[in-house]
Chains A and B, each alone.
Chain A
């Protein structure tokens, strides 16, 4: 490719004669006028040059001194860059990153996903970094042109990335864990050369958009060089984990709590299932046939593993299964593959051997000054500093939309779907709910887990109390509240090729309960509350009006409360009376 570019740019006359001769030799006969380069060729070349130029500016060369290094790819103007876990693991919290502009930047570790071999780092010092555009990897086809931009064999000593081009050889590939916990699910397979050092770098499509993060290659007997089969983590998997990585967490992958096998008839059936799993609670049993998971069809065991492997632990996703000809669709909450302590141990343990990573482990030097203010080591976190950053971001958005009157007692009244009236009162010290079945009250200094009222709701009133605390006092004031990450706004929309909308999720442990709040545009849109870790959570969905002119929507239009897959009640809130008066 490079020789051609030089020839074309310089326009050496001799080149034309060479080409003419070669065309005859090659006997292509594609065109009678071999002397004139078809404009289509020049256009194609120009667009490829442009795509590679764009991608190159977002390519990161990671150097971690004696600990080796690798590649990365910038995702945001403020410097967040994706790379591989196996690149950052030996590097530790601080690394030096080079961009194609020839400059070096300090970078700090943000979050890691050891199972999926992903990591997020942040380059410091600018808020206008060039960055790559993530695109939908489910639309990538076998045969598509693609190219990798990275730092193979750590050659980029001039900080300019190496480009290797090829085609997509396979999509939705499943790669078994190779002696480690790193599992490459649903990955893209390419014949573009992926070598040691390319790890963590971007895989781009013909227009320079990011379709994956390179991380693995088939090596075997030829030694550690490319043999025509490299693998990239899909951009959609990166997208799914991005929020959890920005939280500074050590992220875990999801399990359904069930294993599957292929039946004699070639169907994917449940071969084992934990009775403690949410899938069991939602009715999944042995020998049930899995039809779809998270919006994607499941026809093989590999397809099942592929879908599951792209999902973070903790998400709620749709599951479709069939038993005796009857099709059932449920929402299941995915548990983590590892216990948190187990994951931390693995992270602290040895590096993965099968991954392309030049260099060796080395003693970690003291953190550079630039890093110290943005790094905070805490159990369970890769870098707790960024958890606070994200939590504060959500808090600021909540304050921005909070009604000025929100600090007083809140009254929510209206009618249930049955037509009966209800009234909910929430204040700093107490809460009550009047229902046709009776009145329940709660003192806010109670241990909230002892009083999961109204009966049968699993703790609806406690959830609303925490909601009020979150809005009035802010996340930092509600027990231990951390930023969890992001989850799809509408899980049932997962799997559609269209853009998936994400909402921020906060996690609190306070007064004996655990709760997760989904926050969208500064408003809490759902609350899941557990009075004990094994109990069915109370799920409150807050539906807000669009919020047009003169309608600040200080109260939600509706509360939908569910527990254990069953509806507890739908509370339609009358907009007029309480709003602006009580709030």
Chain B
């Protein structure tokens, strides 16, 4: 404890020296440059304490955006607002349910973007800037909020959201600034030179103490997650850990947001070229049965799907244009915890 206080104190004092000695970019310039690569995302939610907004990071000049996997993305209309105020409809490319990251794409080119590389981890004591649209303070072309802090620890995440354990249990950067705010998930954490260090995670509490955690997913994990999403293997994690229950989004199905007690399980959208798309599922299908057992709500669908063991067939019965249609999605992919 004392150690970390002194480390932080040292870092604050050392800040101007590093600027002078290494010719590091001034924080104002770093903030301005990084902010251009952060996206304000608006999607589903806005009721029952669920925010309808979060942040994202541009990771390629042609419009790929990494963000946190959350209910905000449970929508056909994911609005991505760039730093210059331009607004694009985002398309969900895929998700990595274990790391809880999602990859979106927008139809734009020549965008300022972070370099997504599996670089070395930064060390405890590294000074960082955190950029996100916390509390949705910024609208249109207004710049996202910038906070400063220090990487206070690099530790495995042990956290929960409500009663549910967070699926990711790998290392995270614990930050000494309050980044655990509505709108922050998906925001960027950069070092003093503006290099991407990590992504602000979802709002989680520590399993140990119940306190809200201020943390970021390291950039190498994001890079690996995105690779897996692009390769279509995000849902097939290496064997070894406990089994992860299946998330429909892992096979390409986005259901309507779960907003009321018994939300009818309509399919909001189907990710193009996903397993679900190949199985013939379409937007606006109403799921009435999973594996032949009837399901009456969106929550029930998720529950039933979650019980399907890896390798077992995933069969969905849907109503389309007044008729029942059977969709055989194929065997459930393996999803495992990181060993």
Contact = CB atoms under 8 A, between A and B. Distances in A.
B139 A4 contact: no
Contact of B35 (A142, A145, A220): A142
B141 interface: yes
A14 to B, nearest CB: 12
B14 A30 contact: yes
Interface stretch (B142-150, B221-229, B298-306): B142-150
Contacts of A266: 85
Contact of B181 (A18, A173, A227): A227
A173 B139 CA distance: 9
A539 interface: no
Nearest to A227: B178
A173 B143 CA distance: 9
B1 to A, nearest CB: 12
Contacts of B145: 169-170, 189, 191, 229
Interface string A198-224: 000000000000000000001010100
Contact of B6 (A18, A172, A175, A227): A18
Interface stretch (B15-23, B52-60, B158-166): B15-23
B28 A141 contact: yes
Interface string B176-204: 01111110000000000000000000000
Nearest to B49: A221
Given A44-B16, A167-B31, 7 more contacts: A1-B9, A1-B12, A22-B10, A26-B7, A28-B14, A141-B32, A227-B180
A12 interface: no
Contacts of B324: none
Contacts of A45: 13
Nearest to A299: B141
Interface string A501-517: 00000000000000000
B138 interface: yes
A40 B148 contact: no
B212 interface: yes
Counting chain A CB atoms within 10 Å of each CB, the highest count among B13, B135, B181 belongs to B13
B137 interface: yes
B21 A30 contact: yes
Contact of A191 (B22, B35, B142, B147): B147
Interface in B93-147: 123-125, 129, 134-135, 137-147
Nearest to B15: A44
B239 interface: no
B5 interface: yes
Interface in A170-209: 170-175, 189, 191
Interface residues of B, number: 51
B181 A170 contact: no
B27 interface: yes
A300 B84 CA distance: 12
A24 B264 CA distance: 58
Contacts of A302: 139-140, 142
Contacts of A430: none
30 contacts: A1-B9, A4-B10, A22-B10, A26-B10, A26-B11, A30-B14, A40-B17, A41-B13, A41-B16, A43-B16, A44-B16, A141-B28, A143-B26, A143-B30, A143-B32, A144-B28, A145-B27, A167-B31, A167-B147, A169-B147, A170-B138, A191-B178, A218-B134, A218-B135, A222-B212, A226-B178, A228-B134, A229-B181, A300-B140, A300-B141
Given A4-B9, A38-B21, A142-B31, A229 B134 contact: yes
B48 interface: no
A276 interface: no
A227 B177 CA distance: 9
Contacts of B26: 143
A3 interface: yes
Contacts of A318: none
Counting chain B CB atoms within 10 Å of each CB, the highest count among A3, A41, A143, A173 belongs to A143
A171 B35 CA distance: 13
B3 interface: yes
B137 A189 contact: yes
B147 A220 contact: no
B177 A22 contact: no
B144 to A, nearest CB: 8
A142 B143 contact: yes
Counting chain A CB atoms within 10 Å of each CB, the highest count among B9, B12, B124 belongs to B9
A interface: dominant SS: mixed
A294 B135 CA distance: 29
Contacts of B17: 30-31, 38, 40-41, 44
Interface of A: 1, 3-4, 18-19, 22-23, 25-28, 30-31, 38, 40-41, 43-45, 141-145, 166-175, 189, 191, 218, 220, 222, 226-229, 266, 299-300, 302
B14 A142 contact: no
A226 B177 CA distance: 11
Given A27-B123, A169-B146, A229 B135 contact: yes
Given A30-B21, A218-B134, A300 B178 contact: no
A145 B145 CA distance: 14
B142 to A, nearest CB: 7
Contacts of A23: 10
Contacts of A26: 7, 10-11, 123-125
B35 to A, nearest CB: 7
B23 to A, nearest CB: 12
A293 B183 CA distance: 31
Contacts of B15: 44
Contacts of A173: 137-138, 142
Contacts of A300: 85, 139-142
B137 A3 contact: no
A3 B6 contact: yes
A228 B14 contact: no
Nearest to B150: A26
Contacts of B147: 166-167, 169, 191, 228
Counting chain A CB atoms within 10 Å of each CB, the highest count among B26, B29, B31, B145 belongs to B145
B95 to A, nearest CB: 26
Counting chain A CB atoms within 10 Å of each CB, the highest count among B22, B29, B31, B137 belongs to B137
B85 A31 contact: no
A18 to B, nearest CB: 6
A43 B22 CA distance: 17
Given A142-B35, A143-B27, A38 B20 contact: yes
B212 A167 contact: no
A22 B21 contact: no
A40 B12 contact: no
Contacts of A191: 145-148, 177-178
A167 B30 CA distance: 13
A188 B109 CA distance: 32
